[in-house]
């Protein structure tokens, strides 16, 4: 498959162009590769290992074309560091290097690279191998996305939430911006199931998930089914006030669905209790403390009579993130 056909597949299935990082300390080599791939891919460039790592963490490219010999951090060490980081470990790496001995290729593959191309650059070979690995990356992403969806509601599952939390925590820590979590629980859901049956309960949860999703206006906000009748939203670059306003909007949207709940001791229609927590993430703090803070606020909302929003700015002891 050609790079042009690859672009068509990415636009169709991922709704974007593939992202490639070219890391090489020789600008001439970067220029050649950019001219070869730039028309079909979003290309990022780094002339050193440290910059390559930073760009990978920030942009999460779909493929890295990595030179071995660089002035600050060599390609082998860059590969080790990227594969050791859960945020970047799944990014495929192709070494492009003048080192052509069999032992060099073996070492590259042992480090976790998916391919090895020797210099001087042959455009046909680069095109073919880049096309192959972008195809595999897209297929893997589609399978992974399917595995990270909740089968009932179609929003993210708990695993997806955990992955997004780590990603959003690191992103907002780098940007020095707040991260907020909204946790919500359907009020008296067991009574709802007892009154209307589990099939009606499933339909109810689907409606709640859809209402939450529609209330999230920004593409980088996310919602996941946290467990049972509980949902969680991640709101990067959102302070406590903004998150609380959004939580109140979500609450109003769910109440406006008008789902009958005769067994509720709160209201004649379905309602939710919501806990909100916001913090300024740092690399040394544990993001799960923010979850616990939001969960305590959710408990406070339920203890205070349900169908309400409780929120707080998180303050927690800094410790190594798990």
3-state secondary structure of 80: helix
Q: Which residues contact 128 (CB under 8 A, 6 or more apart)?
A: none
Quote the CA–CA distance of 62 and 44 in Å, as a whole number.
11
With 0.85 as the threshold, say if the pTM is over it.
no
In this prediction, residues 223-231 reach a mean pLDDT of 97
Domains and their CATH numbers in the chain: 3-147 (3.40.50.2300), 158-313 (3.30.70.270)
Quote the CA–CA distance of 199 and 176 in Å, as a whole number.
45
- How far is residue 251 from each of residues 178, 246, 264, measured CA to CA in Å? 22, 9, 16
Residue 60: predicted pLDDT = 93
Peptide bond into 184 cis (omega under 30): no
Q: Which residues pair with 118 in a beta bridge?
A: 97
Helix (H) or strand (E) holding 224, with range, is: strand 222-227
Please say if the pLDDT value at position 317 is more than 50: no
Look up 35 and say whether it is catalytic.
Answer: no
Identify the weakest region by mean pLDDT among 51-65, 91-105, 235-249, 262-276: 91-105
In this prediction, residues 99-106 reach a mean pLDDT of 83
Give the number of residues written for the chain.
322
Q: Which residues pair with 183 in a beta bridge?
A: 232, 275
Strands (E) located in 51-196: 63-66, 93-97, 115-118, 179-186
Q: Which residues contact 102 (CB under 8 A, 6 or more apart)?
A: none
Question: By percentage, how much of the chain surpasses pLDDT 70?
Answer: 97
DSSP string, 96-116: EES--SHHHHHHHHHTT-SEE
In this prediction, residues 29-57 reach a mean pLDDT of 94
* Per annotation, catalytic residue among 77, 163, 177, 229: 229
Helix (H) or strand (E) holding 50, with range, is: helix 49-59
């Amino acid at each position: 498959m050609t790079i042009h056909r690859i672009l068509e597949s990415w636009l169709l299935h991922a709704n974007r162009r593939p992202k490639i990082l070219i890391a090489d300390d020789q600008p001439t080599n970067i220029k050649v590769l950019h001219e070869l791939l730039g028309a079909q891919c979003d290309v990022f460039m780094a002339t050193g290992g440290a910059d390559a790592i930073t760009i990978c963490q920030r942009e999460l490219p779909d493929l890295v074309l990595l030179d071995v010999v660089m002035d600050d951090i060599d390609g082998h060490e860059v590969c080790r560091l990227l594969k050791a980081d859960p945020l970047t470990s799944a990014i495929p790496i192709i070494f492009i290097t003048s080192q052509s001995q069999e032992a060099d290729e073996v070492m590259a593959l042992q480090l976790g690279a998916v391919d090895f191309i020797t210099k001087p650059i042959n455009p046909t070979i680069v095109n073919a191998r880049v096309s192959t690995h972008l195809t595999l990356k897209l297929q893997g992403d589609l399978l992974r996305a399917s595995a990270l969806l909740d089968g009932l509601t179609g929003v993210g599952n708990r695993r997806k939430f955990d992955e997004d939390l780590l990603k959003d925590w690191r992103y907002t820590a780098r940007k020095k911006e707040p991260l907020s979590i909204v946790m919500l629980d359907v009020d008296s859901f067991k009574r709802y199931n007892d009154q209307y049956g589990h099939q009606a309960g499933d339909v109810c949860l689907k409606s709640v998930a859809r209402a939450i999703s529609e209330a999230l206006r920004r593409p980088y906000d996310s919602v996941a089914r946290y467990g049972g009748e509980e949902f969680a939203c991640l709101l990067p670059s959102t302070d406590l006030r903004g998150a609380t306003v959004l939580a109140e909007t979500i609450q109003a949207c769910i109440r406006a669905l008008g789902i009958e709940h005769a067994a509720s001791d709160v209201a004649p229609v379905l309602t939710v209790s919501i806990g909100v927590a916001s913090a300024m993430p740092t690399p040394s703090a544990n993001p799960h403390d923010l979850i616990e803070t939001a969960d305590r606020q959710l408990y406070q909302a339920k203890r205070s009579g349900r169908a309400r929003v409780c929120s707080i700015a998180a303050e927690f002891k800094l410790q190594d993130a798990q």
